């Protein structure tokens, strides 16, 4: 790929990486908020949120490093996060974020077919998002039937 600043393909990829980086910031912060909110009630779920947040933080850096490599400058947006005390609402919001991530990265596998390094990176990130989605969904099913804890 051409590294010239006016290469439209390069700019398209940098824009896509910026979107990914900011979505990963949002997920990181939301899962840390949820970890803090649930830890005293369910430390196992709290650890699950923390572990997902650490994965998302690693994803931020994969994308920001790629932006650097392509000669772009990372741009930070706002990162709205869900907060509240209901565990089922937290999990529903987190599952929605994971579904957005899966949709975004699945679409990018198509867009980035001509860029093997990025394609491999997106495949690996997508696999993490699928794990998060599955884990949060398992917790939601166990909480859905528990009217005391939710
Ligand atoms: Fe992620
Ligand atoms: Fe995720």
What tens digit of pLDDT does each residue of 99-123 get?
999 999 999 999 999 999 999 999 9
Q: pTM of the prediction? A: 0.92
Tokens of 122: 């997106």
Over residues 50-55, mean pLDDT:
98
Q: Where are the alpha helices (DSSP H) in the chain?
A: 8-38, 43-69, 87-111, 116-144
Contact of 49 with 41, CB cutoff 8 Å: no
Superfamily of domain 8-144: Ferritin, core subunit, four-helix bundle (1.20.1260.10)
Ligand 2 centroid – CA 49 distance (Å): 10
Ligand 2 centroid – CA 126 distance (Å): 8
Ligand 1 centroid – CA 147 distance (Å): 30
Ligand 1 centroid – CA 29 distance (Å): 12
Residues less than 5 Å from ion ligand 2, measured at CB: 129, 132
């Amino acid at each position: 790929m051409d590294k010239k600043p006016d290469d439209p393909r390069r700019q398209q990829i940098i824009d896509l990486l910026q979107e990914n980086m900011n979505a990963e910031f949002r997920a990181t912060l939301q899962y840390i908020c949820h970890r803090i909110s649930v830890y005293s009630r369910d430390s196992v779920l709290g650890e699950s949120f923390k572990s997902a947040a650490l994965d998302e933080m690693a994803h931020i850096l994969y994308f920001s490093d790629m932006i650097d490599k392509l000669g772009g400058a990372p741009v930070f947006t706002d990162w709205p996060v869900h907060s509240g005390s209901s565990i089922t609402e937290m999990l529903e919001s987190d599952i929605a974020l994971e579904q957005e991530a899966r949709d975004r990265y699945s679409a990018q596998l198509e867009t980035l077919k001509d860029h093997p390094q990025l394609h491999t990176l997106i495949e690996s990130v997508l696999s993490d998002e699928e794990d998060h989605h599955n884990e949060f969904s398992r917790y939601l099913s166990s909480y859905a039937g528990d009217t005391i804890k939710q």
